[in-house]
Structure formats: C-alpha cells, structure tokens
C-alpha cells in the first residue's frame, strides 16, 4: 500500500514509460485504404475527409510506393465508378476491365512487395447503391447476391489480389467464396472477412468518397449490416466465418466497438483487424483543425487503443500520416 506502492514511479520519465509500455504501434500494423478512379493525372480531394483523395491509377502508383517505403505491408482498394456504369445488378463488378481489376494488375506488376486487399460487395457498382441485388420485396436478396459475390471474388483473385474482403454481410458468402477459390486453384488467396460490420452513421464520408451519397442519398443497410445494440451476435458471426474458411476478421467501425474487438480477440484464434472508418478519421481531422487537440497525438492514441483492445492490425486512412511519424 501507499507509500510503499507509488504508481507514479514507473511514469517518471520517457525511458521508463517506454520500457514498461504494454502496447506499441508499428507501421507494419497499418493497412492504408485508397480510392481509385478512372482517368489520368487525377487527384480529386474528398471534401468530408480532409487529406484523402481519389486517385487515377497513375497517381495511385507513387502513393503505394511511398506506403511501402514507410513500412506499411498492405493496402485496401476501393473503386469509384461512374454513374453511367452502374446498374441494378452491379454488372460492372464482374467486368474484368473494371477500374479495380486494372488497378490491381498495374500495382502488382510494379510494386509486388506490398499486399493488396479489395472489397467484395456490389455497392460501388449498383445504381441503388446497396451491397447486393434487390429481390422483388425491395430488400437485398441474400442468395442471388452470393452468386455475384462469388464471381466477383474469383475475378479479383484472377487479377492478382492477395486478399478478398467480403464487406457485404450476406449469410454464407465466406464458405461459398472459399469453395470457388479452391476449385479454381487459388489456394493462397486470403479471405479477410468483414465478420462483424455494423450499420453505422460513421460510414458517411466513405459514401461521399465512392459517390453513393450523390447517386442514392442516405441509405439504410440495417437488414444486412449488424445492429449496434448487439455484441453476442458479433461472436456468432465471427464463429460462422471462421468455420466457413476466413483467414482474418475485420471489426467495423473501430472506436465505437472497442468492446466487440476485445471480445472477439478473446474468443477467436484468427488475427483480428480493426477498421477505423471514414467518419472516425473525419471526426479527428475536423476536431484537430478547430484546435481541439493535436492531430498526430490524438490519432496515435486512437490507433493504439485498437492494439490495446487486441487487434493485430488496423485499417486507417491515417496509416501513411502515422507511419511517417513513427
């Protein structure tokens, strides 16, 4: 008891604080997301995400090279599709010349030593902006959507994608995708499942980034994404995806669901990634720009919290900012 025990002894100087620190954030923990669009020499800033832009493939290249040089091991790619190429079925998702397939091929040819993950979901490609195809009742049809997702995942693998990341929350898709990949000899293609993805307001800026707000306004995805009142349900989702053959798990959003990240890492043997989503990034950026706090300090604190909760890696739009500071 006090005074023999004084907790402040181990906090008295930077060197002792570093020595006893339980968690350390490293560049190799971070995954950097990029938005890729058509065109040449395009750098199109995303208004709601200061510091983030949509890049054409030629402009994306040096960004990815820089990420690799900073020690980042993987990037996540998201396509921005022209409205004229969207339809009710999201057919462009299955076109082998779409922007995402061309980006993967170009990146793999020039920068083979950084991993690429790509979303499996139809929302960038559908005219109604939902993650799947709609049934006659107007809701996303699970099994019809799965047929598309399986083909989309196979196409991404054929394009050279290291990891496919189903972010659609359809039931059964992990097992179906795994079976198809095996059947076609893609034994090494990883499946990083968005296992627990909540219906969240925090995706707002992302939907501006991929222009689904422009095309569809506010969208309610509550019949497929999870209810934020639940956490036992997240465990059930995780255990199913594990059994179906997922290699890694994503919990998303991050900061509002730290309890879920912690719980999942206690119950699953798979590596868990936290996704610090667009709205979390935007909140920190905007607050810092108003003088509420220092951006770098607040960001490193937020990302370290994911490691403390048990996450093995973190997807964050600040990955390059933070890696260059570390």
The catalytic site residues sit at 197, 252
Q: Does 164 bind ligand PBG (CB under 6 A)?
A: no
Minimum CB–partner distance for residue 107 and ligand PBG (Å): 19
Residue nearest to ligand PBG (CB): 206
Give the C-alpha separation, 150 to 173, whole Å.
7
Give the C-alpha separation, 2 to 37, whole Å.
61
How many residues contact ligand PBG, by CB under 6 A?
12
Give the C-alpha separation, 120 to 164, whole Å.
6
Measured from the CB atom, the residue of 203 and 306 that comes closer to ligand PBG is 203
Minimum CB–partner distance for residue 185 and ligand PBG (Å): 27
CB atoms within 10 A of CB 150: 19
Among 203, 224, 257, 306, binds ligand PBG (CB under 6 A): 203
Q: Does 131 bind ligand PBG (CB under 6 A)?
A: yes
Give the C-alpha separation, 274 to 202, whole Å.
14
Minimum CB–partner distance for residue 5 and ligand PBG (Å): 44
Q: Does 237 bind ligand PBG (CB under 6 A)?
A: no
Contact characters 108-127, ligand PBG, x per CB under 6 A: -----------x-x-x----
Measured from the CB atom, the residue of 10 and 47 that comes closer to ligand PBG is 47
Measured from the CB atom, the residue of 131 and 244 that comes closer to ligand PBG is 131
Minimum CB–partner distance for residue 87 and ligand PBG (Å): 17
State both tokens at 215.
């095309």
| DSSP for 18-44, written as a single string | HHH-S----GGGEEEEEEEESSSS-EE
Minimum CB–partner distance for residue 280 and ligand PBG (Å): 8
Per CB under 6 A, which region of 67-75, 143-151, 199-207, 243-251 contacts ligand PBG?
199-207
Compute CA distances 148 → 81, 91, 211, 306, whole Å. 17, 9, 22, 33
Minimum CB–partner distance for residue 124 and ligand PBG (Å): 7
Give the C-alpha separation, 181 to 188, whole Å.
9
Q: Does 304 bind ligand PBG (CB under 6 A)?
A: no
Per CB under 6 A, which region of 63-71, 98-106, 132-140, 200-208 contacts ligand PBG?
200-208
Measured from the CB atom, the residue of 101 and 121 that comes closer to ligand PBG is 121
- Residue 295: DSSP 8-state: H
Minimum CB–partner distance for residue 287 and ligand PBG (Å): 17
Instruction: Show Cβ contacts of residue 272 under 8 Å, excluding neighbours closer than 6 positions.
Output: 248, 249, 250, 251, 261, 264, 265, 310, 311, 312
Instruction: Show Cβ contacts of residue 17 under 8 Å, excluding neighbours closer than 6 positions.
Output: 10, 11
CB atoms within 10 A of CB 151: 15
Among 206, 224, 257, 306, binds ligand PBG (CB under 6 A): 206
Measured from the CB atom, the residue of 35 and 186 that comes closer to ligand PBG is 35
Q: Minimal CA–CA distance to 260: which of 223, 311, 299, 298?
A: 311
Give the C-alpha separation, 14 to 284, whole Å.
26
Q: Which of residues 264-293 bind ligand PBG (CB under 6 A)?
A: 277-278
Q: Which residues bind ligand PBG (CB under 6 A)?
A: 119, 121, 123, 131, 167-168, 203, 206-207, 221, 277-278
């Amino acid at each position: 008891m006090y005074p023999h025990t004084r907790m402040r002894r181990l906090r008295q100087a930077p060197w002792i604080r570093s020595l006893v620190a339980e968690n350390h954030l490293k560049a190799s923990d971070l995954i950097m997301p990029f938005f890729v669009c058509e065109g040449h020499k395009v750098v199109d800033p995303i208004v709601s995400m200061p510091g983030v832009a949509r890049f054409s493939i030629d402009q994306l290249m040096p960004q990815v090279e820089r990420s690799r040089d900073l020690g980042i091991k993987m990037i996540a790619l998201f396509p921005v599709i022209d409205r004229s190429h969207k339809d009710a079925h999201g057919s462009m998702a299955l076109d082998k010349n779409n922007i995402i397939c061309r980006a993967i091929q170009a990146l793999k040819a020039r920068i083979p030593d950084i991993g690429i993950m790509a979303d499996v979901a139809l929302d960038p490609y559908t005219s109604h902006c939902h993650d799947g195809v709609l049934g006659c009742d107007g809701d996303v049809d699970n099994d019809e959507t799965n047929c598309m997702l399986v083909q989309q995942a196979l196409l991404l693998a054929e394009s050279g994608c290291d990891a496919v990341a189903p972010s659609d929350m359809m039931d059964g898709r992990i097992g179906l995708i795994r079976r198809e990949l095996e059947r076609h000899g893609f034994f090494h293609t990883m499946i990083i499942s968005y296992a627990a993805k909540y219906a969240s307001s925090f995706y707002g800026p992302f939907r501006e980034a991929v222009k689904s707000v422009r095309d569809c306004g506010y969208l309610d995805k509550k019949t497929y994404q999870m209810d934020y009142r639940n956490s036992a349900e997240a465990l059930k989702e995780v255990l199913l995806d594990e059994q179906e053959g997922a290699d890694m798990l994503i919990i998303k959003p991050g900061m509002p669901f730290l309890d879920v990240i912690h719980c999942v890492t206690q119950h699953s043997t798979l590596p868990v990634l936290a996704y610090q989503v667009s709205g979390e990034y935007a909140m920190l950026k905007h607050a810092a720009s108003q003088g509420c706090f220092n951006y770098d300090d607040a960001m490193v604190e937020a990302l370290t919290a994911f490691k403390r909760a048990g996450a093995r890696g973190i997807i964050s739009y600040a990955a390059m900012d933070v890696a260059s500071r570390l």
